[in-house]
Amino acid sequence: MARTRASVIRILTMSTVAAFAGLPFVASAQQPDQGAIQEIIVTAQKREANLQDVPFSVSATSQDQIRNSGAMDLVDLARNIAGFAVADLGPGQSQVAIRGISSGQVIRDQPGVKEQVGVYLDESPISVALFTPDLELFDLDRFEVLRGPQGTLFGAGSEAGTVRYITRQPQLSKTEIMTDASFEDVAQGDEGGFLRAALNLPFGDTVAARLAAYWHHLPGFIDAIQPGGGLKKDANDGDRSGARLSFLIKPNDALAITPRIMFQKLDTNGYPRVDLYNILGNPYTTTQPAVTLGSLTQYTQQHEGLTDDFTLGDLKVDYNLGPTTLTSITSFTHRNVLVQRDASQLTGSVTFDVFGAVSNPPDPAGVRTSSPLLDRTHLNVFSQEVRLASNGRGTLEWLVGGFFQHVGRRYGQALPTPGYDALNATLGFWPGCDPVKNPPPCRFPLGPNPVGLVDNPFFSDLSYRLKQYAAFGEATYHLTDQWAITGGLRYYKYNEDRILNFNGVFSAATPAGGVPGSTDSNGTSPRLILSYKATDDVTFNAQAARGFRLGGINDPINIPLCSPTDLLVFGNQKNWTDEKTWNYEVGAKTQWMDRRVTFNISAFYSDIKDLQATTTAGTCSSRIVFNVPTARSEGIEAELFARPNANWDFGLSATVIDAKLTSSVTSTLPPATPGGPPGPTVVVGGLADGNRLPTAPKTQVVGSVGYTLPVQGSADFFANVTVQYVGSSFSQFENEEPGWGQIGGSGDPNAARLISYGGPLTVSQINFNPELPSYTLANFRLGLKTERWQAAAYINNIADKNAQLALDYERGRSARVGYLTNQPRTIGVYGSYVF
């Protein structure tokens, strides 16, 4: 079915391209335009300004630049922007980091973890720590990345920076229809592509509407080996579709009302995960049938995938009062996310651990029982901001405002496992075991399944309610024509309540009414900037700013699955406090050669207090957040853009970051013998002084070259090449522990982690490198274009590189180990037309 849908795109797109491909390719005698680099207008300070005049580090990428770079989603886009990284767990499951400030890869079952980077669609917050909306990169004016703490104007979640999708707005002046389509073929994979269209329609002089709609088939490229040796080809394909409808109502010159509604649906049939080890499809045993895990393969017994329904309604009202403008932004976000994972290997590993010591032989039936894990998230977010800002440029420019947000989130997990109740009742008995004469361990050590749960060894239901209030202000005073000082302050107060229900034989059961929890805090987020404009084209800036990330409430660990040591180390970790970052930076924004060359550079140092570090709770199959007392991130980022003439464009962006912990989290183990001296003090979950902050690379470089040549008529030939280098990184703090890449064998504190289910082991230990290696990707695009149409062909990932983007493992590696990877070499065609 996926190939049938993709074939529709292929026919339409190739027809479009073919219609334009016959144009004569003859260089014209027209003189090249020696124009400067186009001025970029941004709203990083919630007022329009030239990018070069904003007194801190900002990146802005236009729709054309996004297309020319080959970017199809947020992950692709991040590789083109200095200091911006995305941990990718598959479509719809991205975690954003700026300037190396990251506290570990957020896992799906951590609903209380807050984001470190604020994500906005225009002026509406859409941030979620893991489920950052994977929006279609279409009908955008630009994509902004504001580096460094933006807490003064953007509040909680913007501790490391802010990301903004800026969409094209309705226009009163013209009727316009824009449509584009693509078709692509993935090496060793599926076919994909998209159909998209945007319409701008004015109704007289006072009302205009803009509608954008799209459908994008995401090609699969991972093959899933099935029980019995079958193969599910291209298992991770999917579809993203949606629409945005906005209006501009302008009854007079002073008032502008912009209501909008947006809906997007993302459906995927799997994840871009490559398995290295899986107890149910283990290449290191005599599993029947034998399993061979290749470069783009995984082993599954159950359907996997994600469904994400995202709806946003917002209303912006601007009223020009003359010397000031009053602005109100009201937004409501509703999301339903269902993540389905094959947890058969997780359930099987628990079953084997529980029964392997008591069954005879130690190969219990039921280990291979199919067990899907269903994660459900329901999210409702209401936000209201009102602000008053001065108009024009004067000696004093100022802005004041207030903000309120109410977040309601309900999260739940279920592990439906057919036949598990029967397993519970009978598996603890084997021939010769008399349950009367031989009490436990003859009986199932995990105990009976609670009343009301049928064949469901784990169930959770968590309800969160967060209320946040804030007041903020910022002002810029121009001391002279060259010197300016900017000061800002935000006061915030929040409260979060949670009701938790756990049940099932794998969990610590909670009372019928659930277990309540709460946390609250308040604080300030200041900013001070000094700016010196040496010339019209050279500005120096210095900044000190503080950002913050709200605290939260830990979930209880799964006590029945915990070893005694892990129970001691990870138990009783209830709340975590606010995380705060002081950022100090200096920078220069410069333009040269009649503004045909732009060079911007910043150096920064970020001092982080109470870093909210996420770590795996050992054998407990849980995740816990600890506050690490101190950490820091320091580095340099630079961007160079050059347009020496009308034919050539060059770009180079680079960042070098050193981000690490500067303190440790430790735990003292119990005495080896009752009454003996305390056990050793150990570092918890890789939270050791000197360890790198995860998910963000030390080095990131992207270079691009564009060439344009006028041909006969009004058409231009163009070609673009983009090369992206991403340095090595870790997914989690725990991955940096010595020996973490070893499963089984001597030196592994849990040698039994290498489970021998499926037959005798052919090896005594498995080794892999938990550090994600650096990688380089290259994309190429060429075609013809005019003001109205474009026809192009492209190759993304020219060298067919399979990068390791993130580690993905279950139950501390004892159940499965794999990594997420990128799309292989992709060859495609693209066409667009503006009516």
Residue 425 lies in a domain: no
Taking the model in full, what pTM does it have?
0.90
pLDDT band, residue 26 (cuts 50/70/90): very low
3-state secondary structure of 51: helix
Q: Residue 562 sits in a domain of what CATH number?
A: 2.40.170.20
Residue in this structure with the two tokens 């991955």, named with its chain if needed: 735
Provide the residue range defining the domain that includes 22: 2-417+456-834
Residue 677 lies in a domain: yes
Which region, left, alpha or beta, applies to residue 355 given φ > 0 means left and ψ of -120 to 50 means alpha? Answer: alpha
pLDDT band, residue 780 (cuts 50/70/90): very high
Q: Is the pLDDT of residue 631 over 90?
A: yes
Mean pLDDT estimate for the chain = 87
**Which is it for strands 223-225 and 297-299: parallel, antiparallel or unpaired?**
parallel
Which secondary-structure segment (H or E) carries 523?
strand 515-535
Residue 426 lies in a domain: no
pLDDT band, residue 357 (cuts 50/70/90): very low
Residue 433 lies in a domain: no
Q: Is the pLDDT of residue 718 over 70?
A: yes
pLDDT of residue 616: 83
457 in Cβ contact with 414 (< 8 Å): no
DSSP summary character for residue 773: P
From CA 592, how far away is CA 236, in angstroms rounded? 47
Distance of CA 360 to the CA centre of its chain: 46
Residue 448 lies in a domain: no
Distances from the Cα of 68 to the Cαs of 21, 53, 146, 451, 647, in angstroms? 19, 26, 22, 58, 15
- Nearest partner of 164 among 238, 77, 236, judged by Cα: 77
Per-residue b/e over 444-453, b at no fewer than 16 CB within 10 Å?
bebeebeeeb
From CA 487, how far away is CA 181, in angstroms rounded? 46
pLDDT band, residue 648 (cuts 50/70/90): very high
3-state secondary structure of 8: helix
> pLDDT tens digit string along 214-238?
999 999 999 999 988 889 999 999 9
Token pair, residue 646, equals: 């009308």
Residue 15 lies in a domain: yes
pLDDT band, residue 434 (cuts 50/70/90): very low
From CA 101, how far away is CA 512, in angstroms rounded? 40
More confident residue, 762 or 816: 816
From CA 102, how far away is CA 698, in angstroms rounded? 12
Which secondary-structure segment (H or E) carries 349?
helix 344-355
More confident residue, 105 or 692: 692
Evaluated on CA atoms 775, 606, 625, 75, the torsion sign reads negative
One-letter amino acid of 95: Q
Percent of the chain with pLDDT over 70: 88
Residue 90 lies in a domain: yes
One-letter amino acid of 89: L
Mean pLDDT: which of 101-105, 159-163, 364-368, 515-519 is highest? 159-163
**Which is it for strands 575-576 and 552-553: parallel, antiparallel or unpaired?**
antiparallel
> φ and ψ at 816, to 5 degrees?
-165, 150
> pLDDT tens digit string along 522-579?
999 999 999 999 999 999 999 999 999 999 988 888 777 777 888 888 888 888 999 9
Mean pLDDT, residues 244-271: 97
Beta bridge partners, 42, equal 49
From CA 34, how far away is CA 50, in angstroms rounded? 21
Residue 591 lies in a domain: yes
What is the tally of structural domains in the chain?
1
Per-residue b/e over 607-630, b at no fewer than 16 CB within 10 Å?
bbbbbbbbbbbbbbbbbbbbbbee
